[in-house]
Amino acid sequence: MKAAPFEYFRASTLAEACAQLAEHGADAKLIAGGQSLVPMMAMRLARPAWLIDIRRLEELQRIESRNDPVSSADDVVSVGAAVRQCVIERDPLARASLPLLGRALKWVGHVQTRNRGTVGGSIVHADPSAEIPLVTCVLDAVLELRDAAGATDVPAREFFLAPMVTAIAPEQCLAEIRFPVWKGARVGSAFEEVSIRQGDFALVSACAQVALDADGKCIRAALGIGGASPFPQALPEIGERLAGTQLDDRTIVDAADAAAKLIDPDGDLHATAAYRRHLARVLVERVLRSAREDVR
């Protein structure tokens, strides 16, 4: 099938894109990498009357560190929404500061889709199995939404509402994603998933980031599960439980059991609910072990 007819506008500034969204409202859709939207349009699951192209906007292409040398809180790395996924894989700042995002990207589609697909497009598309949304929730990132009136910050953990449903309004553009960077800690991270074929969306995924002190004690942990709920699920209660432990094998097994009890997966053609819960338990155990071994 081919897409229904539409008008095309290439924005040259973010303000111009927001003005177009304000004018056309729900009749318009932003297009970034087109890796999800174009197939949706070809299947006529999406029929925007207007496509507003933000792919070339310089303002949405930046990757910046917002370090605060005085504050004891986390540093922040800000990623523009139209930064392509392949750029994150190669960018020195992103690689050094956001290792979990880099690990997640290896599981996102294929080299060809990552060459065009953007970080922001994946977040707004909000597939419950998508890897980038899971990382934003686990790291407790903040999403900056822009419209003609200004900017609004939304925590990633409040952004995803249901499969492919988010808190963004039709007149808003996701402008940047601000990832906390754990300061002054020895950090390790891991991302694992099970899918039917390499490059397919995950049946279930899990990721973790841990920080250890000089004696090997866990001082901070964050983890989450994708594909097993209507939206990516961070599990801060398990992270809190791991902080202060030696992160030994017994502790990890107990944490994985507890994590699997916190999700309520659905069964479908590809996997039963019980199998998804089993995968979640196994994958959480694996990512916690791997993150512990990855600490440097």
For residues 136 and 117, give the distance between their C-alpha atoms in angstroms, rounded to a whole number.
Answer: 17
> Which residues in this chain contact ligand FAD in the complex, by CB under 6 A?
29-37, 54, 81, 108-109, 113, 117-118, 120-122, 124-125, 127, 130-131, 168, 173-174, 199, 201
Question: What Cα–Cα distance (Å) separates residue 6 from each residue in 13, 50, 56?
Answer: 21, 5, 20
For residues 17 and 22, give the distance between their C-alpha atoms in angstroms, rounded to a whole number.
Answer: 9
Q: Which is nearer to ligand FAD, 188 or 265 (CB)?
A: 265
Min CB(177)–ligand FAD separation in Å:
10
Q: Which is nearer to ligand FAD, 127 or 192 (CB)?
A: 127
Q: Which is nearer to ligand FAD, 37 or 101 (CB)?
A: 37
Min CB(116)–ligand FAD separation in Å:
6
Min CB(244)–ligand FAD separation in Å:
33
Structure tokens, 288: 């916690």
Q: Is there a contact between 212 and 117 (Cβ–Cβ < 8 Å)?
A: no
Task: For residue 245, report the phi and psi dihedrals to the nearest 5 degrees.
Answer: -95, 170
Q: Which is nearer to ligand FAD, 71 or 198 (CB)?
A: 198
Min CB(57)–ligand FAD separation in Å:
9
Task: For residue 212, report the phi and psi dihedrals to the nearest 5 degrees.
Answer: -115, 150
Q: Which is nearer to ligand FAD, 29 or 281 (CB)?
A: 29
For residues 43 and 243, give the distance between their C-alpha atoms in angstroms, rounded to a whole number.
Answer: 47
Min CB(213)–ligand FAD separation in Å:
34
Q: How long, in residues, is the chain? A: 296
